[in-house]
A and B are shown apart, each in its own frame.
Chain A
Amino acid sequence: MEYQKENSIIEAMQLEFPEAAFTVKKARRIEVKLPSKRLYDFAVRMQKKWGFLHLSAISCVDWINDGEFELVYHFWNYDEKVLVMAKIRIPREKGDSHFETISNLWQPAKFFERDIHEMFGIYFDGSEDMEGFILTDWTGPPPMRKDFITREYALNFFHYREYEPQWLKDMMAAGEGNE
């Protein structure tokens, strides 16, 4: 049977998280959609019970049209060799959105949460370190949010060297090179 290993892992998880939606995306990749409240419990079980010792990454996606942020937690199991992507959605606020931290379980989460805080403006409550890191000299809005357009910002803010050779003018006149 295809995906036997993955399905047996899903079965064990489904027992404790009946509300979660599991799918096998391909070999060694399991996707699970969770209500955001259950994530911390899920993470605890992942680490303590199911042996997913490695937190590979936490990704954040800004679904601006839905008014939501999606947080994707990638867990890896060294023994079973399976990756579980746990997806949750939290509401997208104008200021900082808030969510609970898992950095007390996994050290690597510290970096990812700090990074998401800077780039998206999601504050992880309970994390010991939410200071600025990469963007300490940045004063604008969180840049990875979809409503921040870097091209507009850069064109307005920075000085560019003036360079308009004849070939470029000809090209622009012919209507090329706009995209």
Chain B
Amino acid sequence: MDEKITQRSVWEKISAKLSKRSLWMLHYCTGCGAIELPPTMTARFDMERFGINPMVTPRQADILLITGYLSVKTLKRVVLTYEQMQAPKYVVGFGSCTINGGMYWNSYSTMKSLDRYIPVETYIAGCMPRPEAIIASFNELINKIDRGEANSWKDYYNNYNFYKENQEHTFEGPIETYNDIKADAALFNIK
């Protein structure tokens, strides 16, 4: 990891310094954690002061905030959404349910471990985490981008087979995603 950081060119360092100030979060309420997002966005906690804005469509978003448990039905949409987002993209797993199923560990309907399906940048533990925790995790993400460590999105291009295998296991069949990940990786030269 350290080697990689020192390899960054000056331009990349400046780029990280500027782009960390603008992170757009996809407005997707996947679970109950969505209830703490309005307070985070609005007057009391106001995450726009860090340049974090809710965005409507996956094409424009940088952060995919998974707010809580994902039922298998939603997980399918989340994978589609994730693939539509433009790299670099960061996934934040919010709440215990994304870490190990949390409260719904024995439910037949929710997935248990998010990083099997898409690469996760940071997790927020708790059920449910407070708005302060969301802001703290965003700050952590901002620091990671600044240090050049927020590279988990590359993992999806490099280890696509691993993710695809898990997705297909959970969806019990192939998933049609409209995006050719490997061709994209070659086209945009992602290593």
Q: Which residues of A contact B (CB under 8 A)?
A: 136-140, 143, 148, 150-151, 153-155, 157-161, 163
Contacts and interface: CB of A to CB of B under 8 A. Distances in A.
Contacts of A137: 72-73, 76, 171
B182 to A, nearest CB: 24
Given A159-B166, A160-B113, A140 B108 contact: yes
Contact of A159 (B105, B108, B116, B171): B116
Nearest to A154: B106
B100 A161 contact: yes
The list of the 5 closest CB pairs from A to B, nearest first, reads A151-B106, A150-B108, A158-B112, A137-B73, A161-B100
B24 to A, nearest CB: 29
B11 to A, nearest CB: 38
B111 interface: yes
B177 to A, nearest CB: 15
A158 B170 contact: yes
Main secondary structure of the interface of A (DSSP, over half): loop
A95 to B, nearest CB: 20
A163 B73 contact: no
Contacts of B101: 154, 158, 160
A154 B109 CA distance: 8
A52 to B, nearest CB: 34
A76 B102 CA distance: 38
B112 A160 contact: yes
B47 interface: no
Contacts of A150: 106-108
Interface in B57-74: 72-73
Given A150-B106, A154-B112, A158-B101, 16 more contacts: A137-B72, A137-B76, A138-B72, A139-B172, A140-B108, A143-B108, A153-B108, A154-B101, A154-B105, A154-B107, A154-B108, A158-B170, A159-B113, A159-B116, A160-B101, A161-B99
A172 B87 CA distance: 44
Contacts of A163: 100
A140 B73 CA distance: 14
Contacts of B170: 157-158
Contacts of A161: 99-100, 112-113
B155 to A, nearest CB: 17
Question: Which of A150, A153, A158, A161 has the most B CB atoms < 10 Å from its CB?
Answer: A158
A151 B172 CA distance: 19
A96 B101 CA distance: 31
A158 B105 CA distance: 10
A11 to B, nearest CB: 46
Contacts of A136: 73
Contacts of B99: 161
Contacts of A151: 106
A176 B141 CA distance: 39
Given A136-B73, A137-B76, A163-B100, A158 B111 contact: yes
Interface in B136-191: 166, 170-172
A168 to B, nearest CB: 13
Nearest to B71: A137
Given A137-B72, A139-B172, A159 B112 contact: yes
A95 B65 CA distance: 41
A149 B55 CA distance: 40
B127 to A, nearest CB: 16
